[in-house]
Amino acid sequence: WDLPEHFNWPRRTPAREIDIRLVIEQATRRIKHEITARRIRHTLALSPDSLIVHGEDQLLELALLDLLIVLTEACDTGANLHVEAQPSGHVGIVVRADSCKLPRQVLEALDGVPSNQHVGLSVARMIIESHHGRLVVSREPDAGIRFDLSLPLCGRDPTLA
């Protein structure tokens, strides 16, 4: 994977109010070529209203990009990858795909077990949690994987995310 140069850690941007929809769109744009090459069908369903969170857009993009990369690599050819974001007291972001085989090391990395292969998932979880959010992974009935992210909207109590 060829990550853009702006993901270098020393050049972090300060936390500010950002529309998470734009971050999601940017992350999915960055991985679009890989999704297309693997013939994965992709849908994006974002709230028509702004979803303003307080955070570092580059870090949140990195976390979302890592989740998208993991799912893309785990998906069979012709799988469906769906990303959505909707408000409900917080920002609920769902990244899910059907026909996925997520290796045990990936699930362990999400649970904090060190893994050389998927250290990025542990970092993604830390980024999300540092923004007062939560990340939950679950298996879908159609042999898929689902990542549920929750981030507090600006002006809301971060403990409600």
Alpha-carbon gap, residue 32 to 30, rounded angstroms = 6
Q: Across all residues in the chain, what is the average pLDDT?
A: 81
Three-class DSSP category at 71: helix
Per the model's pLDDT, the better-predicted residue between 158 and 58 turns out to be 58
Helix (H) or strand (E) holding 65: helix 57-74
pLDDT band at 1 (very low <50, low <70, confident <90, very high): very low
Q: Model confidence over 54-67: pLDDT tens digits?
A: 999 999 999 999 88
Helix (H) or strand (E) holding 28: helix 20-37
Alpha-carbon gap, residue 70 to 110, rounded angstroms = 12
Alpha-carbon gap, residue 59 to 20, rounded angstroms = 12
Q: Model confidence over 74-95: pLDDT tens digits?
A: 888 888 899 999 998 788 888 8
pLDDT band at 32 (very low <50, low <70, confident <90, very high): very high
